[in-house]
A = this chain, B = another copy of it.
């Protein structure tokens, strides 16, 4: 069985336990027992207990990066980001993925420690997206070339995403328009060019 498949089995079992008992209240020993392996082996597939929950989020980051790279280089950064976020909305149309994300969302929000780790990941993702846009601007005229402004711009776009997700939940019918409305309201004055 492939590494990815084992990770997936562990993650499924772990999330079930997390939903049932809470994240902090579930021990790694219990997770390992649920998949029928030693605690030591659990840590060979996930570097930490946090990782089990945040791993699925990692792939979302990769997809987001890919979508952003695919946007036309002369598009305003704000619009490129908004279109990349739309991929998140798309993902939520698959009912299975939606249920899963809802569960993850609940687990993360219930544990300050996990929430912090999640925000740490988001921060690094924002950093890498900023560099991506910085490279793009260097090759194309009209783009934002100030790394500080660019980093803040990406941060602002993610603030919209986070706010919309937090307040509107994961129902795509509600979440989509909510994100559009928020990003329209926050659109930087100078970014319409």
**A residues bordering B, Cβ < 8 Å?**
112, 115-117, 119-120, 123, 144, 146-149, 151-156, 158-160, 162-164, 166-168, 178, 181-183, 185-190, 192
Contacts and interface: CB of A to CB of B under 8 A. Distances in A.
A123 B165 CA distance: 14
Given A151-B163, A159-B155, A159-B159, A146 B185 contact: yes
Contacts of A166: 151
Nearest to A183: B152
A162 B182 CA distance: 21
Contacts of A189: 187-189, 192
10 contacts: A112-B120, A148-B181, A152-B160, A155-B155, A155-B162, A155-B163, A156-B159, A185-B190, A187-B188, A187-B189
